[in-house]
Amino acid sequence: MKITVCIKQVPDVNAPIQIKNGQLIQDSNRNILNAYDASAVEAALVLQEDHGIDHVEVVLIGPEKAKETIRKALAMGADKGTHIITEDENSFDSFAYAQLLAGYFMDREYDYIFCGKQSQDTDSGLTGSMLAEFLGLPYTTNAVGLEMSDGALTAKRQGDSGQEIIEIPSPGVVTCSNDMNDPRIPSLKGIMQSKRKPIDTISVTDLGVDLSEESTKSRINSYEEKPERKAGEKFEGESDEIARKVAQLLDTEANVI
Amino acid sequence: MSTLLTYISVSDGKVKRSSLEVLSRCNQLAEENGLQSDALIIDPKANEVAEKVKSYGPSTIYTVQDPIFKNHQNTPLLKALATAMDQINPNVLAFASTESSKDILGALAANQDAAALADVSEFDLTDNSVKAKRPVMAAKIISSVESTSYPTILTVRSGSYDLVEKSVDSEVKEIPFSFDESELKITLKEIIGATGDKIDLSEAETVIAAGRGAKDEKGQKLVEELASLLNGAIGASRALTEAGIYDPSLQIGQTGKVVSPELYIAVGISGAIQHVAGMANSKVIVAINKDPDAPIFDIADYGIVGDLYEVLPPFIEELKKIKSS
């Protein structure tokens, strides 16, 4: 059995961000493996350890520099990586990414495809289910737990009011929440081994996907700082006194009681 | 006439307010642009639910009625949505952002060769596309995005628009639909931890959120007492849902629920950016924390620096006095 995890290199949302002329200025040295994808890699590795999955592979679409993120996943324990190389600057949206991934998976073997449920920078959460639809596969999103028995995968999906226990036949697609696990930190041994693990490099044109103008269906025009919410009043001192004071202000000043 | 179609979210026969907010916005845009605003209900009792939606002003209420829609399952929902889109051919299909709509947004867009804009906080129309704003980078930054064509499918954050009632003579049209169990590609085996009758966290006017500081039984009791006094919903930080103290469906933040209540009381929550991403649009924020440097105080309208076990009892007592006077 083989699980392939789709991963992405993204800006660290905890790193400082500047906006200049409506564009984001970020230090690309602070780019990291998307946290949700890290959970997807971890989930695949746990299944491999517990159920003897033969292969865990990762596939990434991104510029040359993103190769370091493939190495990270290999250092965690994935067996092999594929790098679909793009130009440094591109305007792909989820629709285009999903088509590229569909082109990649079209003539390859896999049992399950895992994705992070969203990118931590844009939070769109579209690519996983788009990919499933393009490939005509069953899928579930926002998995917070995964179990395997007799080669069939059961996901626990966080729904609106409860957790849905869903069986997904193979081949299928699962998008993973970071609530599923704590991704392992690569060991020194893992990092050493990752250097000898294979990474296939292919270009967008190799995939034979026709990325015409219609393949990108949305664009980002600009960015702006969120209007900052100002701190109000901070009350310090005798607990009993300040607690009662704030309770009264909520009634008389804020009018919310 | 070209149509803006709003999907009405229904849970146990109840219409979700957030989807009526979206409908109110579509009504307004339809009026400004000379378009039609319609609604779509997909539910085992869709025709019955349609009656409750009439007072919110859609011209036509399309219904798809089948027992299969009792619980969320993406395969039948996608088939129904695709059938409806093929028949109605809307310029825009707008959803309230819920775990159910997020589950199918990408797949539906791929199926319909449509643009998708997820989790927007504002949207407007151009001649042939939708312009929208959406929070990115853990909601620290707002991005202005645009679809390149119609149809455009979008999900809208709850609390983004006000609810406006509008009386029109809505027409109800049922869309024929059939679904065979054999078409179900995935199997929903059970639903656990369903919250049932409790106040819906994402739509509550008052939210009391518990964090690490309130993790023991005494803290939980105080949070519960405050919530029941203010008729509020209880939410929690990731630390507490991960520890299994609160149900995961109560998690507020970037990965959990996004809330925008009138009053948000953060109890023992430090205010990590991932948490703030889920609650920063609350109208009034009260924070109780013993660490005076906790980042939650940077966004709180009223910050109380103190031990929650010493703060909450007099706070609750004073609120009781106010409520009874």
Domain boundary among B151, B183, B215: B183
Same domain, B139 and B237: no
Please check whether residue B288 is in contact with residue B296, taking contact to mean a CB–CB distance below 8 angstroms: no
Contacts 24+ apart (CB under 8 A), A218-221: A218/A93, A218/A94, A218/A95, A218/B115, A218/B116, A218/B117, A218/B145, A218/B146, A218/B147, A218/B148, A219/A91, A219/A93, A219/B145, A219/B146, A219/B148, A220/B143, A220/B144, A220/B145, A221/A22, A221/B131, A221/B144, A221/B145, A221/B146
Q: Cβ of A18 under 8 Å from any chain B Cβ?
A: no
**B262 falls within a domain:** yes
Beta bridge partners of B118: none
Q: Please list every residue in chain A whose beta carbon sits closer than 8 Å to the beta carbon of residue B207.
A: none
Q: Do A217 and B312 touch (CB under 8 A)?
A: no
The predicted pLDDT at position A201 comes to: 97
The predicted pLDDT at position A229 comes to: 85
B12-66 pLDDT tens trace? 889 999 999 999 999 999 999 999 999 999 999 999 999 999 999 999 999 999 9
The predicted pLDDT at position B196 comes to: 55
For A23, which residue in chain B has the nearest alpha carbon? B143
Q: Please list every residue in chain A whose beta carbon sits closer than 8 Å to the beta carbon of residue B304.
A: 235, 239, 242-243, 246
Q: Which amino acid is at A211?
A: L
Q: Do A160 and B143 touch (CB under 8 A)?
A: no
**B82 falls within a domain:** yes
Q: What is the pLDDT averaged over residues A3-27?
A: 91
**A7 falls within a domain:** yes
The predicted pLDDT at position A211 comes to: 80
A134-175 pLDDT tens trace? 999 999 999 999 999 888 899 999 998 789 999 999 999 999
Q: Cβ of A89 under 8 Å from any chain B Cβ?
A: no
Please check whether residue B274 is in contact with residue B254, taking contact to mean a CB–CB distance below 8 angstroms: yes
Q: What is the pLDDT averaged over residues A194-220?
A: 90
Does A200 score more than 60 pLDDT?
yes
Q: What is chain B's mean pLDDT, rounded?
A: 94
> Quick one: which of A117, A18, A174 has its CA closest to B119?
A117
Q: What is the pLDDT averaged over residues B124-139?
A: 94
Domain boundary among B118, B150, B183: B183
Task: Quote the tokens at residue A57.
Answer: 């592979």
Domain boundary among B157, B183, B209: B183
Helix (H, G, I), strand (E, B) or coil at A256: coil
In sequence order, the 6+-apart residues with CB closer than 8 A to the CB of B145 are: A218, A219, A220, A221, B117, B120, B131, B132, B133, B134
**A236 falls within a domain:** no
* CA B172 – CA B239 distance, rounded (Å): 46
Q: pLDDT confidence of B194, banded at 50, 70, 90? A: low
Q: What is chain A's mean pLDDT, rounded?
A: 94
Same domain, B10 and B67: yes
Q: What is the pLDDT averaged over residues B76-88?
A: 98
> Quick one: which of A4, A43, A5 has its CA closest to A178?
A43
B200-258 pLDDT tens trace? 888 889 999 999 999 899 999 999 999 999 999 999 999 999 999 998 889 999 888 99
**B193 falls within a domain:** no
Show the domain range for B218. Answer: 201-324
Q: Cβ of A24 under 8 Å from any chain B Cβ?
A: yes
Q: How many CB atoms lie within 10 A of CB B67?
A: 9
The predicted pLDDT at position B140 comes to: 87
Q: How many CB atoms lie within 10 A of CB A92?
A: 18
Q: Give Rg (Cα) of chain B.
A: 21
Q: Cβ of B128 under 8 Å from any chain A Cβ?
A: no
The predicted pLDDT at position A47 comes to: 97
**A229 falls within a domain:** no
Please check whether residue A153 is in contact with residue A112, taking contact to mean a CB–CB distance below 8 angstroms: yes
B262-314 pLDDT tens trace? 999 999 999 999 999 999 989 999 999 999 999 999 999 999 999 999 999 99
> Quick one: which of B67, B69, B89, B88 has its CA closest to B78?
B69
Q: Cβ of B105 under 8 Å from any chain A Cβ?
A: yes
Task: Quote the tokens at residue A23.
Answer: 């564009």
A232-241 pLDDT tens trace? 999 999 999 9
A114 CA: distance to closest CA in chain B (Å): 15
Q: pLDDT confidence of B199, banded at 50, 70, 90? A: confident
Number of independent structural domains in chain A: 1
Q: What is the CATH number of the domain that holds B254?
A: 3.40.50.1220
Same domain, B105 and B209: no
Q: Please list every residue in chain A whose beta carbon sits closer than 8 Å to the beta carbon of residue B320.
A: none
The predicted pLDDT at position B255 comes to: 85
Q: Do B192 and A162 touch (CB under 8 A)?
A: yes
Q: Please list every residue in chain B whose beta carbon sits closer than 8 Å to the beta carbon of residue A224.
A: 141-142, 144
**B287 falls within a domain:** yes
Asked whether this complex has an ipTM greater than 0.85, the answer is: yes
B139-163 pLDDT tens trace? 889 999 999 999 999 999 988 999 9
**B144 falls within a domain:** yes
Beta bridge partners of A138: none
The predicted pLDDT at position B195 comes to: 59
**B86 falls within a domain:** yes
Percent of chain B past pLDDT 90, that is, above it, reads 85
What are the Cα distances from residue B115, in Å, to A52, A96, B95, B156, B234?
A: 40, 11, 14, 15, 36
Q: What is the pLDDT averaged over residues B172-192?
A: 93
Q: What is the CATH number of the domain that holds A82?
A: 3.40.50.620
Number of independent structural domains in chain B: 2
Label residue B255 exposed, middle or buried (CB < 10 Å: 0-12, 13-18, 19+). buried
> Quick one: which of B84, B289, B219 has its CA closest to A243?
B289
The predicted pLDDT at position A228 comes to: 80
**A241 falls within a domain:** no
Percent of chain A past pLDDT 70, that is, above it, reads 99
Max CA pair span of chain A: 70
Q: Please list every residue in chain A whose beta carbon sits closer than 8 Å to the beta carbon of residue B111.
A: 133
Same domain, B38 and B152: yes
**B194 falls within a domain:** no
> Quick one: which of B13, B71, B97 has its CA closest to B191?
B71
The predicted pLDDT at position A104 comes to: 97
In sequence order, the 6+-apart residues with CB closer than 8 A to the CB of B46 are: B10, B63, B64, B65, B69, B174
**B190 falls within a domain:** no
A63-116 pLDDT tens trace? 999 999 999 999 999 999 999 999 866 778 999 999 999 999 998 999 999 999
* CA B304 – CA B311 distance, rounded (Å): 8
Does B193 score more than 80 pLDDT?
no
Same domain, B299 and B232: yes
Show the domain range for A171. Answer: 2-215
Mutual angle of helices B99-112 and A127-135, in 10-degree steps: 50
Beta bridge partners of A241: none
